[in-house]
Structure 1
Amino acid sequence: MALILLLPAVLYQLCAGQPGPPDSPGRIAVVGAGIGGSAVTYFLHQQFGPQVQIDVYEAERVGGRLATLTVNSQLYESGSPSIHSLNLHMQDFVKLLGLKHRREVPGRSAIFNGEQLVLEETDWYLLNLFRLWWHYGISFLRLQMWVEEVMEKFMRVYKYQAHEYAFSSIEGLLRSLGGEHFVNMTHKSVAESLQGIGVSQRFIDDVISAVLKASYGQSVSIPALVGAMSLAGAQGNMWAVEGGNKLVCSGLLKLTKSNVIHARVTAVSLHSTEKKHLYEVQYERDGTLGSDYYDLVIIAAPMHKATFQMSFLNFQPPLAELARSYHRVVTSIVHGYLNASYFGFTDPKLFPFASVFSTDSPEAIFHSLESLCPVNVSAGFRRKPPQEAGVWRVLSSRPLDRKELKTLFKSYYSVQVIEWQAFPNYSTVSPSKSLPPVLLHDGLYYLSGAEWAASSVEMIAVAAKNVALLAFNRWFELSEKIDQQDLMHRLKTEL
C-alpha cells in the first residue's frame, strides 16, 4: 500500500526532470511601423497568441512609405500608390480589417523620351497590342512570358507559409522558390536577362527603362528579380485601399492591440541570463532616454546611415555591418494646370493621358508624371482634364526647380515636396555581395533586408510572415519547419 501511495510522487519527480516545451516569449519589440512592422506584428500575434505583449517603436509616422497628404482639403497617396492583386497577404489584411478596394478610375499612359512621345496607349486593347507588335515585334510577348514564369514561382511562397515553413536567409527563401536561378536573379541585371530571352534593345530602352524609372528611379541595370516584380505591376491588376493604403498598417496595429511607442530606437544590447538571451531596446523620446527588455526583437526599418542610426551592443563577435545605401527619389505633388504643349499637344483638351513615363534619357526632367485621384473616390468622380487644375504626382531624382515646374505646368497653386530614401540603391549590388541576413542573433531578426531581393509591398509582406514563422519555429525548436529543401515535392506528397 505504501508503494502505491508513493508512486505519484515518484512519477512527478521523473516528469519534473524532463524538459518541457518552452514558455511563449513574454515581450516582443518591433522596430518600425511601416507595412513590414505592422504586418510582422500581426503575424507574431497570430503565431504566439494574444498573451504576448508587442511594443512597436516608430520614430515618425505609422505607415512608413504608405503615406498620404492633403491638397485642397482632400487626401492623396504620396507614398506607394497601389498594390498588386497577387499580394495575397495584403488581400487578406483588407478583408480582415473590413476595408475596401478603392473604386478604379481608368486612365491611359504614354512614354516620353525627353523630346517626344514614343508610345501611346489607346482605349482599345487589340490596337495597343498591334502598336506594340508594330514597334517592337514579339518582345512584349517574351517579356510577358518571362514575368509570368517568375511570378508563378514566387507565388509558391504562400503555400509554404500556409504550412508554416520558414527560412533563415533570403537566399534560402529564393532558392526554395526558383532554385539557384532565383538567387542569381538578385545579381544579374534585368537588361541582361531580357536580352537573353530575345527582348529587343529598343523595347528595353523605350518601355522597360520607363517602367523601372517610374518604379525605382533607377536604370535597367537593376537586378532581374527586382525588375520582374516591378514589371508585373506594370501589366495591370493593381488596386488601392479606399481611404488610403496606410489604413492597413494602423488597422493591423489596432487589431493586435499593440503598444505603439513614438520614439527613435538608438541601440539594441544583448543581456544573457542562465536560461535565455534578453535584449535591451534603448530609445529616445522627446529628448528623454529610455529602455526596456524583450525576449525577441524584430527590426522592420531599413538600416541605412542617412536616416536610421542604431547601434548593436554587447554582441560577441560584433554583428556584421548592415548599413547599405538607399536611392533618393523626390515626390512633388503639384496642384495646377498641366502644360500639354510640352508633350506635343497645343490644345490641352486633346491631351488624353493620365500618366506619362520617362525613358532613361538625359533630356528628361522627371521619372513619371501621374494624375492623382483622392484616396476616397466617389461614384461620380472623374479625372480632371488638363484644361482644369488637377493634382499631379511628379517623381524625379532631385527637387524640380522653378524653371522645370514651369516647363511641366502652365501655372500651379501649390507644390508639396517629399524626399524619400525610398528604395535600395541597386547599383551597389554585386555577385560577391550577399543579401542582408534575416537572423542576426538568437532572438534578433532583420526584416527589411528583403528589400534587396525586391523592394515592393508584396515582398515586405512575405518577409514579415517569414520572420514571424522563423521566430516561432526557433523559439519552440521546430527545426523540421526551418530551411527545408525541395518543399514543392514534399508538399505535393503530403497532400
Structure 2
Amino acid sequence: MPTMSLQTLSLRALLFLGLWHTGRRSLASAPELQHQPKKIAVVGAGIGGTAAAYFLRQEFGAGVKIDVFEPGTVGGRLATVKIGDYEYETGGAVIHPLNLHMKHFIERLGIPPRKDIPSKMAIFDGKELVFEESNWFIINMLRLLWRYGFNFLRMQMWVESVLDKFMRIYQYQQYGYAFSSVERLLHAMGGDNFLTLMNQTLEEAMMGEGFSQVFINDVVAPITRVNYGQSVRINGFVGATSLAGADSGLWAVDGGNKKVCAGLLYNSKSELIPARVTSVSVKVRPSKTGNTASFYEVNYLGESGSGHALYDIVVIATPLHQGKSEITFPGFSPPIPSHYPGRYHQTVTTLIHGKLNVSYLGTTEPASEFSVSEVLTTDSKGCVINSLSALNPVHIPDGYKQRSASHTKVWKVFSPKPLTQEQLETMFLSYDTVSETPWLAYPAYRPPHRKTPPFILHNRLYYLNAIEWAASAMEMSAISARNVALLAHHRWHQQAGKIDQEDLHMRLRGEL
C-alpha cells in the first residue's frame, strides 16, 4: 500500500480513535427536542434497514417506536448456508479496513472479526492460469513489475486517492450533516471528480490515467468480475470501489456478516414484523389541536394475514426495482414509481463440497501442491465463471488450516448463470453437495450515469437504496442509513442548515 500522508493519517486517527467510540448521537444533533415522532417504519432488514433502525434510534431517542418489516431472513443479501458441520458465507463476504461504520458496529455490538486465514490468488483466462501468486511477496512484485511495469503500484495509489476523498463523508456525518441526493453526497465526498467517475466507464477512467489496456484486461477486469460480476465497462466510481475490495487487510465478521444485522436490530430496540409490505399511502387524520395531521399508512401481508399501521416517518430499505420489490405508492402527487429505471444484475453463488479438478484450470501442478484458494477470471469467451474460491467457515475453529486441492473441501463459484451438470463434472473430480443461490445482488452498472433515484420520496418518506446506483457495498448501505437518519431528523425538526452544506472546514470553524 502506498504511504499515506501525515494529514490523512491524523484525520483517520481522529475519526476512528476519537469520535467513533462515543456511541452517542452526533455532535451536531440537537438535544431532546419537543414533539418527537411517535412511530417510524423501516421496510427491509438487510444491512441498510438494520443500520437505519440503529441510527434512527440514535437521532430520535428512546421514546419513538421503530418497526422493521422483513418477510424473509434478517440480513438480506448477507446470508450463510450450512454444509456438513460448518456454515459458509453466500452473500456479501468482505469488508474494507477503512469501512468505519462496519468497524463501529462490531465494536459496539461486541462481535469479533473472523480469524484471518492466509490465501493465494491466481488469474484464469478460460484455458490456463495467466498469473499465480507465490508465497514470496518479492517474487510477486517482480513478476508484476516485469509484466505490467508500475501499473500495479499506480493502481494502488489511484485507489488510495479515491479512498482519501471517500473518507470525508465520515467527518460530515459525525458533525450531523446530511445530503438530499446521491449526487450531492458524492460531491461532498469527492467534488466534480466523483461525478465524472460516475459518468464514464472504469476502462475510460483508467485509460485516461495512463493505465495500459493489457493491465486493465488482465488485472482490473478479474477484480470487477469477482466483486460485481461485470466487466470494466461499469462506471468508474463503482469500479474504484471494486478495486478497493482487492486491497490487503480485508476482513469479515466471526459467525457470518449477517450477525451485524441481527445485532443492530437488537441494539436499536426495534420490533421485527415478519411481513411483506405491499403499499404505502398518505392518510390525513384530525389531531388534538383541531388541525389535521398526515401519516403514512403501511399495508402489509404476514403469516396471519394482512394488516396496516400508521407511521410518522417511513424508510424504504429495499430496492424499488423489478424483481426486487412489489411495493406500490397509491395516491401520491407527483406519483412515486414502484420500480425505478435500470435493472439488478444476476450473480449465481454455487457452493460445492467436492474435489477440484485442477487440470480444468490448465495447470500441470499436482493437486497436492496446488494451494491457490482464490481464482479470478478474465473477461474472455472461454470463462463461464466469474470466480472460483476455496471457502473457510464463517467461524474458524481452533487448529483449522486451509488444505490443498487434493482434499475434498467447500468451493464457491460465482457465475452469471446456474452451472450445468456438465460444467460441474468438468470442474470437479467428485462432489457430494451442491448449494445454489441466485442473487439479484447489485445494479447492472452502465454509464453514462442516469440520475439516481431520490433519497426523499415524499415529505417524511425516504429511500435508502438510492445509494446503490453509485456503488453497492455493505459500507455504502451503512453510509446511506446514517444519511437518511440524519435527513429524517433534520427535516422533522426543520434544521435546513444541516442539509446539503459543503465546505465543512469553514462551517466547523464558524460553529466552534
Report the TM-score when normalising by structure 2: 0.90
Contact 2:221 2:379 in 1 (8 A): yes
- The equivalent position to 2:60 in structure 1, one of 37, 40, 48, is 48
Select which of 363, 377, 386 maps to 1:367: 386
Q: How does 1:215-254 map to 2 (within 5 A)?
A: 215-254=227-266
* Corresponding residue SS for 1:341: helix
| Residue-by-residue CA offset, 1:362-421 (whole Å, 9 max, x unaligned) | 101210111101011023111132111000110000000011111111110110000001
Partner SS for 2:373: strand
SS in 2 for 1:202: helix
**Which residue pairs with 2:15 in the alignment?**
none
Which of 328, 339, 342 aligns to 2:357? It is 339
Instruction: Find the aligned partners of 1:224 and 1:36 in 2 and give their Cα distance.
Output: 23
Match status 1:409 vs 2:428: yes
1:94 lines up with 2:100 in the alignment = no
- Residue type at the aligned position of 2:465: S
CA distance in 1 between counterparts of 2:43 and 2:381 reads 39
CA distance in 1, matches of 2:216, 2:40: 46
Q: Deviations over 1:454-494 (max 9, x none)?
A: 11111111111000011001111111111112224433665
Q: Which runs of 5+ in 1 are unaligned?
A: 1-19
Stretch moving more, 303-312 or 344-353? 344-353
Task: Report deviation, 1:121.
Answer: 1.1
1:7-406 to 2 correspondences below 5 Å: 22-273=34-285, 274-286=291-303, 288-320=305-337, 322-323=339-340, 324-343=342-361, 344-345=363-364, 347-406=366-425
| 2:497 equivalent to 1:480 | yes
Q: 1:276 to 1:169 in 2, by over 3 A?
A: farther
1:461 aligns with 2:473: no
SS in 2 for 1:56: strand
Determine the structure 2 residue equivalent to 1:441. Answer: 458
Report how far residue 270 of structure 1 moved. 1.0
- Tell me the secondary structure at the aligned position of residue 114 of structure 1: coil
1:16 is aligned to none
Q: Distance in 2 between matches of 1:489 and 1:21?
A: 27
Contact (CA 8 Å) 1:142, 1:198: kept in 2 or not?
A: no
Q: Deviations over 1:232-256 (max 9, x none)?
A: 1102221111111111000111112
Structure-2 separation of matches of 1:279 and 1:493: 38
**1:4 matched residue in structure 2:** none
Larger Rg: 1
Alignment check: 8 A CA contact 1:264 1:285 kept = yes
Report if the CA contact (8 A) 2:369-2:404 is conserved: no
**Distance in 2 (alpha carbons) for counterparts of 1:347 and 1:141:** 32
Q: Indicate if the aligned counterparts of 2:328 and 2:337 stay in contact, CA closer than 8 A.
A: no
Q: Deviations over 1:299-329 (max 9, x none)?
A: 0001112131110012112125643310000
Offset of residue 126 of structure 1: 2.0
Q: Per the alignment, do residues 39 and 168 of structure 1 end up closer, same or farther by CA in structure 2, a change over 3 Å counting?
A: same
Once the two structures are overlaid, the 10-residue window that deviates more, 442-451 or 136-145, is 136-145
Residues 39, 464 of structure 1: 8 Å contact kept: yes
Q: Secondary structure at the match of 1:238?
A: coil
CA contact (8 A) 1:345 1:351 kept: no
The 1:169–1:116 alpha-carbon spacing in structure 2 relative to 1, beyond 3 Å, is same
* Helix, strand or coil at the partner of 1:188: coil
Match of 2:198, SS?
coil
Distance 1:214 1:85, change over 3 A: same
In structure 1, what is the Cα distance between the partners aligned to 2:151 and 2:460? 47
Residues in 2 aligned to 1:492 and 1:147: alpha-carbon distance in whole angstroms: 30
* Kept in 1: contact 2:53–2:265 (CA 8 A): yes
**Which residue of 1 is the match for residue 448 of structure 2?**
430
Does the 8 A contact of 1:175 with 1:183 survive in 2?
yes
Q: Structure 1 residues 492 and 239 mapped into 2: Cα distance closer, same or farther (>3 Å)?
A: farther
Instruction: Spell out, residue by residue over 1:430-456, the C-alpha distance to the aligned partner (whole angstroms, 9 max, x if none).
Output: 34x201100111100000110110111
AA of the residue aligned to 1:442:
N
Distance in 1 (alpha carbons) for counterparts of 2:506 and 2:386: 43
In 1, distance between residues paired with 2:284 and 2:206? 50
What CA distance in whole angstroms lies between the structure 2 residues aligned with 1:115 and 1:97?
A: 46
Contact residue 371 and residue 403 of structure 2 kept, 8 A: no
TM-score, structure 1 normalization: 0.93
Identity %: 46
Q: Distance in 2 between matches of 1:202 and 1:145?
A: 19
Number of equivalences: 474
> Once the two structures are superposed, what CA deviation does each residue of 1:27-47 show, in whole Å capped at 9, x if it has no partner?
000000000000010000011
Q: Per-residue CA shift, 1:113-144, capped at 9, x if unaligned?
A: 11111111112222211111111111112211
- Flag the 1:129–1:491 CA change in 2: closer, same or farther, 3 A: farther
**Structure 2 CA distance, aligned partners of 1:266 and 1:287?**
15
The whole-number CA distance in structure 2 between the counterparts of 1:267 and 1:305 is: 15
Aligned partner letter, 1:187? N
Q: 2 CA distance for matches of 1:225 and 1:488?
A: 25
Equivalent-residue separation in structure 1 for 2:389 and 2:505 (angstroms) = 41
**Alpha-carbon spacing, 1:201–1:79, altered in 2? closer, same or farther (3 Å):** same
Opposite residue 457 of structure 1, the aligned amino acid is: M
SS in 2 for 1:386: coil
Matched-pair contact (CA < 8 Å) for 2:328–2:338: no
Contact 1:277/1:443 (CA < 8 Å) preserved in 2? no
Q: Is the 8 A contact 1:302 1:448 kept in 2?
A: yes
Aligned AA for 2:128? Q
